[in-house]
């Protein structure tokens, strides 16, 4: 069945269609030896290349993994110091999957991995407003003024304002909070609280858009595949 060249590249390379469009715009993509344009349709048997590299026409099923990342693991392919990578928790046939966003080494909880670039783009780009929910513990009780500053006004960080939705995990305990956010800047929650003098002692993600951790145990995962 014919499909647009950007969709074909996104599917075969595990990138978003926007990224595929950028590759096509550079002029390095050819179809049967002719330069590709964004409107080209790929037919069965067409030879698609990026430079001199042939793009495989083998159908690649889309794979989606929900991993309960434990503390101490890094979201990269290479270990950092003595810290293992998340791929040590996954079978070898899943090592080509890419994390959808990240959790730092000291954080735990729901981590999505996929080879579907469009899905990753929709889950992470700010314009889609995917809510992420975390359980956060602090080293001291959050003062009411600071809670208001974070929730109502936002805290100015070096890379822009940070506004979080806060809800107590347990009424009367001001050290443990449910934090909801639409953004996903590097260590944003930790930096927001640190700017007011607090240290985050635990950060555990429980939800990401429509996905939730449920009863997946630490270090375990579930997988779904779409052909």
CA distance 66 to 83: 21
What radius of gyration, in Å, describes the C-alpha atoms of the chain? 21
Query: What is the separation of C-alpha 167 from the centre of its chain, rounded to a whole number of angstroms?
Result: 24
> Which is the catalytic residue, given 46, 104, 106, 174?
104
**Could you confirm whether 104 is annotated as catalytic?**
yes
Q: Packing angle between helix 5-13 and helix 17-25, nearest 10 degrees?
A: 110
The one-character DSSP state at 123 is H
For the chain, the maximum distance between any two Cα atoms, rounded to a whole number of angstroms, is 69
Instruction: Tell me the C-alpha distance between 6 and 15, whole Å.
Output: 10
Q: Are 134 and 204 in contact (CB under 8 A)?
A: yes
Closest CA to 136 of 164, 169, 161, 105: 169
Which residues have a catalytic role annotated?
104
């Amino acid at each position: 069945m014919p499909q647009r060249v950007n969709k074909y590249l996104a599917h075969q390379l595990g990138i978003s269609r926007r990224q595929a469009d950028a590759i096509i715009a550079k002029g390095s993509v050819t179809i049967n030896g002719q330069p590709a344009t964004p409107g080209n349709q790929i037919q069965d048997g067409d030879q698609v290349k990026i430079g001199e590299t042939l793009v495989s026409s083998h159908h690649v099923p889309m794979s989606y993994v929900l991993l309960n990342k434990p503390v101490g693991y890094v979201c990269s392919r290479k270990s950092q110091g003595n810290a293992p990578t998340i791929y040590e928790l996954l079978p070898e046939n899943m090592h080509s999957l890419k994390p959808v966003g990240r959790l730092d080494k000291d954080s735990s909880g729901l981590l999505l991995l996929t080879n579907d670039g469009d899905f990753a783009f929709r889950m992470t780009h700010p314009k889609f407003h995917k809510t992420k929910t975390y359980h956060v513990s602090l080293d001291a009780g959050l003062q009411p003024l600071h809670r208001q500053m974070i929730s109502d006004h936002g805290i100015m960080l070096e890379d822009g304002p940070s506004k979080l939705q806060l809800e107590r995990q347990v009424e009367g305990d001001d050290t443990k909070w449910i934090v909801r956010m639409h953004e996903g800047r590097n260590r944003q929650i930790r930096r927001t609280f640190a700017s007011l003098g607090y240290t985050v002692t635990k950060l555990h993600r429980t939800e990401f858009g429509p996905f939730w951790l449920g009863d997946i145990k630490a270090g375990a995962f579930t997988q779904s595949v779409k052909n």
